[in-house]
A and B are shown apart, each in its own frame.
Chain A
């Protein structure tokens, strides 16, 4: 079972630490977060020294790690010691995320990339006319973009900033936030380990609908269906049965991911904005596949 990994990028001061703290407050999962500095996230907690990581335990079973060795080795150590439901990595504000992302996908078989979240500072984008090289790369690579600090600018400016971001990345989901407050169900995919533990989806309060059946899908047709999902669907996740095996399935912002998984039926959940309007059409299309 692969451990999902989520990458958080964003310019210095955009709100990466704020989002991390918010996630930790809201999550019911056991997360291992990798941070640059313990600083604000874990104050006054005891640091446990490992080989490739230093660690502190947080409330609710989550742990906070800072890298002391190589990234790959650190990931191994985290999985071995903690076996978390998911790993969240906070990159430095000046990091170009591309190197780390390709490395993850190709070099570390134990994990799968769940999503790249980029936090942008709406106020700063208004203040400085140019989105710099690194900022641009961070936006380009993102699956989910938080347009943060919208409380500091007016409606017209929000519209302007959103357009500016869309010109760089038209595929990503853009959420307008204040203090990075967002329903964290949007941020994370389905979690295999958690499912095995609980045998059911945890309660979801956001706009969503569910599909379940026992039929076997044709993989190609299913992938085509997914690629044509309307923009209102932010995320889709769950289990799907193909001829060769069942798969754990995750979709975010135009990017999908399948991992072989033992399960005996189709169970899919679609999450988005006002999805009830398009629910019937999507369910019908699924039946027709």
Chain B
């Protein structure tokens, strides 16, 4: 059971290959993106997991691991894999993640640090009250199960129709806030029960909401930064959350289904049960895809509702309309999804099912999926760092389309388990330290705060730099937190 570190073939300073010969069952080689240091420090299980992914039927080109990769359920977090539906390609809940469409949204303002600083504590405290955090927290969009089913089929659009947000929010959300053909009849009652009152909630773990400050000196590409509406000393709001218990239940339900049919019905043999999957073009695979889309949409609706609450809080504190505060959505990106996308393979356009787990879509300039006003600069990517190190805005690149199916990192990536972080750091100490350096934090749980200590994560700067060096995304700006609500 001991995992031996495989020999990594160096392709470039930021690309490392594990050849197909490493495991006899591999269908393609595996590739890890990162500097030598990042790759050396990855936990050994990542190598085992990413090469297990490479054995799945129908996988195309490579099984990828992004620079923020670490071991997860079946696939590593930071795993990207594309499957060809016409060549027995599969869909796997372990390759999407349990928190389906966990993702990030960034909202801008026309306020400066000077405007916000005197109100910082009030803002954070009000956000803490208005955006419920913590395990099992309940939102205040109270829904019947019929309404909930509508919401998970329509996503953020459902919220906007109900008055939770602006029409243009949809344009600046991946998939326009709704994956089409989501089908709530493919969802178990238990999943619905778990999700029913969770729209508008952050949740626990690494989910958070942050007030951040922009500084001109942290702009890597001033021209693009300007185009995206950023200016020196501006205040922006970033948050990270997903589909809560709902997505988790959807994934668990289908994992069980897949375990039953995978081998007896479809003859698929896998190395690790956590990689349970079904052919994409099978009944079970299609059912899960439609159910997963409900998870994706629930998460879009969740973030849309939270965005609305944030606007309310700012509007109340500054006694101005959110429109007058220019609180537009910069972009909303997904982390844990599987999507049908067109990619160029050996000169031909092919439709592939791209799994991204703890990885972000980062389409290069020109793609139709990008909102018109950003189309010539590439898709916006939001990278959440730890509370202590700050976050990033990147854009997708042409090169990334070729290299990683238009995918990049999603965050800093853990370096140690939650338990270990809790043993090493104390939430109270961390909170005091952060307050000293000008960051006001409010958390539902002190041990939970300790889990998210900066030292429990990789260096976000190094992750973003490596992604840029590998050519899969480009840095635009880094952001510094000044206030944080932690789930």
Which residues does A use to contact B, with CB under 8 Å? 11-13, 37, 67, 69-71, 92-94, 98-99, 101-103, 106-107, 124, 128-137, 141, 164, 167-168
0 or 1 for each of B1-44: is its CB under 8 Å from A? (1 = yes)? 11000000000000000000000000000000000000000000
Contact status A130-B259, CB under 8 Å:
no
**Distance of A96 from chain B, by nearest CB (Å):** 8
Given A99-B205, A130-B48, A133-B45: A94 and B255 interface contact (C-beta under 8 Å): yes
B49 at the interface (CB under 8 A from A): yes
Collect the chain A residues with CB atoms within 8 Å of residue B451's CB. Answer: 99
List 16 interface pairs A-B (beta carbons < 8 Å), by A numbering.
A12-B252, A69-B138, A94-B255, A103-B445, A103-B447, A124-B273, A129-B271, A129-B272, A130-B48, A130-B52, A130-B272, A131-B1, A131-B272, A132-B273, A132-B274, A133-B73
Collect the chain A residues with CB atoms within 8 Å of residue B259's CB. Answer: 12-13
Collect the chain B residues with CB atoms within 8 Å of residue A135's CB. Answer: 273-274
**Distance of A59 from chain B, by nearest CB (Å):** 25
**Distance of A89 from chain B, by nearest CB (Å):** 14
B433 at the interface (CB under 8 A from A): no
Q: Which residue of A lies closest to B93 (CB)?
A: A94
Contact status A93-B252, CB under 8 Å:
yes
Contact status B252-A92, CB under 8 Å:
yes
Contact status B72-A133, CB under 8 Å:
yes
Contact status A12-B135, CB under 8 Å:
no
Given contacts A71-B136, A103-B448, A136-B45, 14 further A-B contacts (CB under 8 A): A12-B252, A12-B259, A69-B138, A70-B137, A98-B418, A98-B419, A99-B205, A103-B447, A128-B272, A129-B271, A132-B275, A133-B274, A134-B274, A137-B417
Q: Which residue of B lies closest to A36 (CB)?
A: B190
Contact status A94-B137, CB under 8 Å:
no
B256 at the interface (CB under 8 A from A): yes
**Distance of A227 from chain B, by nearest CB (Å):** 19
Contact status B252-A94, CB under 8 Å:
yes
B422 at the interface (CB under 8 A from A): yes
Q: How long is the Cα–Cα vector from A70 to B132 in the complex, in angstroms? A: 12
Contact status B74-A98, CB under 8 Å:
no
Contact status A70-B135, CB under 8 Å:
yes
Collect the chain A residues with CB atoms within 8 Å of residue B252's CB. Answer: 12, 92-94
Collect the chain B residues with CB atoms within 8 Å of residue A136's CB. Answer: 45
Given A12-B256, A70-B136, A167-B1: A102 and B270 interface contact (C-beta under 8 Å): no
Collect the chain A residues with CB atoms within 8 Å of residue B134's CB. Answer: 70
B98 at the interface (CB under 8 A from A): yes
Given A132-B74, A132-B272: A12 and B255 interface contact (C-beta under 8 Å): yes
B71 at the interface (CB under 8 A from A): yes
Given A94-B98, A135-B274: A71 and B419 interface contact (C-beta under 8 Å): no
Given A12-B256, A130-B271: A102 and B419 interface contact (C-beta under 8 Å): yes
Q: Which residue of A lies closest to B48 (CB)?
A: A130
Q: Which residue of A lies closest to B43 (CB)?
A: A133
Contact status B447-A107, CB under 8 Å:
yes
Contact status B137-A106, CB under 8 Å:
no
Collect the chain A residues with CB atoms within 8 Å of residue B273's CB. Answer: 11, 124, 128, 132, 135
Which 3 pairs of residues, A with B, have the shortest CB-CB distance?
A: A132-B274, A130-B272, A70-B136
Q: Which residue of B lies closest to A127 (CB)?
A: B273
Given A71-B136, A133-B71: A37 and B270 interface contact (C-beta under 8 Å): no
Q: How long is the Cα–Cα vector from A40 to B448 in the complex, in angstroms? A: 33
Q: Which residue of B lies closest to A93 (CB)?
A: B252
Collect the chain B residues with CB atoms within 8 Å of residue A94's CB. Answer: 73, 98, 248, 251-252, 255
Collect the chain A residues with CB atoms within 8 Å of residue B135's CB. Answer: 70-71
Q: Which residue of A lies closest to B252 (CB)?
A: A94
Q: Which residue of B lies closest to A103 (CB)?
A: B447
Q: Which of B256, B274, B418, B422 contacts A13 (CB 8 A)?
A: B256
Best-surrounded residue of A133, A137, A167 (most CB of chain B within 10 A):
A133
Collect the chain B residues with CB atoms within 8 Å of residue A67's CB. Answer: 136
Contact status A133-B419, CB under 8 Å:
no
Q: Which residue of A lies closest to B270 (CB)?
A: A128
Q: How long is the Cα–Cα vector from A70 to B135 in the complex, in angstroms? A: 6
Collect the chain A residues with CB atoms within 8 Å of residue B138's CB. Answer: 69
Contact status B447-A106, CB under 8 Å:
yes
Q: How long is the Cα–Cα vector from A285 to B6 in the complex, in angstroms? A: 49
Collect the chain A residues with CB atoms within 8 Å of residue B48's CB. Answer: 130
0 or 1 for each of B270-285: is its CB under 8 Å from A? (1 = yes)? 1111110000000000
Collect the chain A residues with CB atoms within 8 Å of residue B248's CB. Answer: 92, 94
Q: Which of B98, B137, B271, B419 contacts A128 (CB 8 A)?
A: B271
**Distance of A174 from chain B, by nearest CB (Å):** 15
Q: Which residue of A lies closest to B77 (CB)?
A: A133
Q: How long is the Cα–Cα vector from A131 to B275 in the complex, in angstroms? A: 11
Collect the chain B residues with CB atoms within 8 Å of residue A124's CB. Answer: 273
**Distance of A113 from chain B, by nearest CB (Å):** 13
Collect the chain A residues with CB atoms within 8 Å of residue B98's CB. Answer: 94
0 or 1 for each of B228-255: is its CB under 8 Å from A? (1 = yes)? 0000000000000000000010011001
Contact status B136-A164, CB under 8 Å:
no
Contact status B190-A37, CB under 8 Å:
yes
**Distance of B419 from chain A, by nearest CB (Å):** 4
Q: Which residue of A lies closest to B25 (CB)?
A: A129
Contact status A133-B49, CB under 8 Å:
yes
Q: Which residue of B lies closest to A165 (CB)?
A: B1
**Distance of A256 from chain B, by nearest CB (Å):** 18
Q: How long is the Cα–Cα vector from A135 to B45 in the complex, in angstroms? A: 12
